[in-house]
Structure 1
Amino acid sequence: MAAGWMVSIGNIERGQLRHVTYVVAVAKVTEAIKASLDVGAARFSSGAGIGGVAFSELSLQQLDDLGMVKGGIYSLWDDTIAPCQVIAFPNQT
């Protein structure tokens, strides 16, 4: 059983394909996708259309390595903020 998911969302913005990637520390893929779409919707422009969603299962060890907490969602990539740069928000304790 998965401990979490990496979810990538492709969206069309002003005629260009853009994408964001999140790590979500929930066991069910449907919850991870919904959470990612909810968070991603805030950064998509009103005219953006979702082009697709891809996901990969993550183990508890992988989440621990990222400093994730159960139920957390963290941005790993957003190509409109810093192209070619990984953005990570580690667990704040």
Structure 2
Amino acid sequence: MAAGWMVSIGYIESGQLRHVTYAVAVANATEAIKASLDVGASRFSLDAGLGWVALANSELSLQQLDDLGMVKGGICSLWDDTHDWLIWARQLH
């Protein structure tokens, strides 16, 4: 049974396909998608459901969530194609 989900959101911005991926510490896939859309809508100033698509890619185990330092109900951005991922990865160390 999943302890959380990896959720990807795709959206169109300025004519380009963009995407962001979240780790969500919620066992129910539907609730994980809803939480991701809520965060994405506020973060990118777009209305959730308008030009967005979301997918619960894979289950995350409790160990994987622990490795990310997440607590139950938490959400963490894993990938955002508008930012340089190498800078983000360096900040983790």
Query: TM-score, normalised on structure 1?
Result: 0.81
Cα 1:86–1:78, aligned 2, differ >3 Å: closer, same or farther? farther
The answer to whether 1:44 aligns with 2:59 is no
Overall identity of the aligned pairs, in %: 75
Q: Deviations over 1:43-73 (max 9, x none)?
A: 23448721x2222111111111111101101
Alignment size in residue pairs? 88
Task: Please report how far the alpha carbon of residue 85 of structure 1 lies from its aligned counterpart in structure 2 after TM superposition.
Answer: 3.8
Deviation at 1:87, TM superposition (A): 4.2
Q: CA RMSD in A?
A: 2.4
Partner of 1:35: 35
The answer for unaligned runs of 5 or more in structure 2 is: none
Q: Deviations over 1:19-50 (max 9, x none)?
A: 11111001100110000000000123448721
TM-score by length of 2: 0.81
2:67 to 65, 68, 78: 65
C-alpha displacement at 1:83, in angstroms?
3.4
From the two aligned structures, give the one with the greater helix fraction. 2
1:18 aligns with 2:18: yes
